[in-house]
Amino acid sequence: MSKTIPSISLAADPCDSATRSALYDQHSMALADAVPQIVWTANPDGALDYYNQHWIDYTGMSIEETTGWGWAPVLHPDDLQRCIDVWTNSYTTGELYEIEYRFKRASDGSYRWHLGRALPVRDQAGNIIKWFGTCTDIQEQKQALNDVENKVRERTAELASVNESLLAEIEQRKLLAQTQQRDALRLNEIITTQCQLTEAKLDLEAFFQLVVNRIDVLTGAAGSVIELVDGDEMIYRAGSGVAGPHVGLRLQRASSISGLCVKTQEVLHCVDSETDQRVDRVACQRIGVRSMVVAPLFHEGKAIGVLKAMSPRAHAFGAADMQTLQLMAGLIGSAIAHQTAFNEKEKLLSDLNAAVSVIAANERRIRTVIESAHDAFVAMSADGCITDWNRQAEETFGWTRQEAIGQQLESLIIPPRYRDAHVAGMDHFRLTGEGEKLNKRIQLHGLRKNGSEFPVELTINVIANSSDMQLCAFLHDITDRKRTEEGLLHLAQIDQLTELPNRRLFNDRLATAMGRARRAKKLMALIYLDIDHFKKINDSLGHGVGDALLKEFAARLKASVRVIDTVARLGGDEFVMLLEQLQEPADTSVITDKIMNSIRRDMVIDGHAMSITASLGGAFYSGEDLSPEELVALADEALYRAKQAGRNQSCWAPAPAAKN
């Protein structure tokens, strides 16, 4: 079956004959001229046969020029064909005509947005005998909506830029922490190796082999070798990795980088053996070497050999690797002599102290960065125990560093309702080393010492070493940002005069409510209300009184419904209500009676005593195959009938027919 179309029937109620004559007599035209909108009528074939004075004033065109289809020249070229198509469909099918389009204002030649609407007038047989339409200027409303949307986009872009900067800063701090960790691990390995070598009671060859094996671990080399001077040659005495099979190999001192190292007594770095003229390229190709670091071995102040780390990749070593080889070479020289000269011990100790100082300085720099950060920094062990807490964390959460260190994270800053999920996530992380929130920017709720909750944005990273794992997070209080976002959303969805939901929010709630009613098979009602003769009040007492009346009217409507119901203002004196979870249609009687009685109570608005009435039109819905637009049309039609029947009353649409 076809959908229900709102129309004006000239035989639907006792006042039909008056309605028919009102559309054509001079009195009706005078009323149309008084309306601050463009009013027009059309024949059943779509040809327009009447415009009110507002059309002539607005477009500068006479009725004779625009009769029939002569109105097309004032429409914006981009909207003309669409308007023709919609209008043709309406007068052909009898469906409600509604469209937004632009047409030219004669006073300044500008194109302005209008809302065009038309309803069919039918005779007793149901045939369309006339179309009644209006055009309402909505330029300011559309511009205001565009301005709000632009502000939301600009603010979103600003927030995204700030977030990107925070992420970059967090990534930089992460890199600093990783560098510090690598340096600390390397230093620990060097110290451990030195202790093992010093305490081991090995012969010289076994001592050499232990050294080259540890060099591979410390530098990531593919192979290491100890070469000793033998006349004009260098001989491989111990090797690991790719150099292991070549123990005993002899190289000419004059044509090798090892011989040059002995000669210069300096640490040498070959980044690519294919281009470095100091190396024996044939020997490197035989072993499969592309880059290397070579450190001299000393005995009694004389270079007697080298310690070499090698890689099949070019550019494989850095300054830290050169320092490592230099430290280890000093130990080997001491082992060769079976004793360490005092000056060699002093040099080694100095180098170690320098390395420790560098690491300590790095730790101080990182601590300074963390303590001066504008974000809260919190670190914890894998079992959830807090291990670090900066000054911003103290300000953000209210707990001092002394109070926080050693406490379980979930009991300190996580709201109780999220703690079980946090514990489950930590259990999963300890088992798998994985977590869905790691290395992501996420938003959660935090808990302050005073018990208040607030929104935070954070990124969690894992720093792992050979013994344990630390989880580090930078957290930022986004309360102000959330408040700004909520304010923008409020501006976009709330009517500023009455503080009721506006048309946009109402449309969302209507679709959601219809979905709930359909799924739960529950009855709901949609009610449209207009204040009777509001325009007269507005014109006679002024817009200030009119606005105050609208606010009082809205307050009375809101006080008359249940908490689960919605009251919204669509514009002007047009209000709408959603009544959900009704047991039967009769349930609305209590609510509507309460509404109408509340409206009729005397009121004083800005010193003016007045008594008003309202017209109410409603439609029920309980899961029928209707769209929100179709349900709105039913309620709107019922409101129209209530007005036609004399106002100050309610009228309900018949139950909607099922669709095939």
Tokens encoding 244: 């292991």
Which ranges of 280-341 does DSSP label H, i.e. alpha helix? 281-287, 319-337
Measure the CA–CA gap between 25 and 117, rounded to whole angstroms.
22
Measure the CA–CA gap between 373 and 472, rounded to whole angstroms.
14
Distances in whole angstroms, Cα of residue 424 to Cα of each of 265, 428, 524: 59, 6, 42
Q: Look-up: residue for tokens 């990531």? A: 220
- Four-residue CA torsion sign, 148, 149, 151, 155: positive
| Cβ 598 vs Cβ 613: under 8 Å | no
Catalytic site residue 216?
no
| Phi, psi dihedrals of residue 239, rounded to the nearest 5° | -145, 155
Measure the CA–CA gap between 623 and 653, rounded to whole angstroms.
16
Nearest to 292 by CA among 193, 211, 215, 207: 215
> Which residues on neighbouring strands pair with residue 610, listed in sequence order?
603
**Cβ neighbours for 371, distance < 8 A, ≥ 6 positions apart:** 390, 391
**Cβ neighbours for 3, distance < 8 A, ≥ 6 positions apart:** 630, 659
Measure the CA–CA gap between 159 and 480, rounded to whole angstroms.
11
| Cβ 643 vs Cβ 651: under 8 Å | no
- Radius of gyration in angstroms for the set of CA atoms belonging to the chain, rounded to a whole number: 43
Nearest to 476 by CA among 162, 155, 174: 162
**Cβ neighbours for 199, distance < 8 A, ≥ 6 positions apart:** none
Measure the CA–CA gap between 284 and 179, rounded to whole angstroms.
32
Q: Which amino acid is at 172?
A: Q
Question: Out of 573, 593, 602, 625, which one is annotated catalytic?
Answer: 573
Q: Look-up: residue for tokens 């349900």? A: 631
Across 69-82, b (16+ Cβ under 10 Å) vs e yields eebeebbeeebbee
Measure the CA–CA gap between 236 and 287, rounded to whole angstroms.
12
Tokens encoding 145: 């909506």
| Cβ 453 vs Cβ 445: under 8 Å | yes
| Phi, psi dihedrals of residue 533, rounded to the nearest 5° | 60, 35
| Cβ 269 vs Cβ 263: under 8 Å | no
Nearest to 51 by CA among 64, 21, 97: 64
| Cβ 289 vs Cβ 311: under 8 Å | yes
Nearest to 133 by CA among 43, 2, 15: 43
3-class state of residue 222 by DSSP? coil
- Four-residue CA torsion sign, 328, 333, 337, 343: negative
Residue numbers annotated as active site: 573
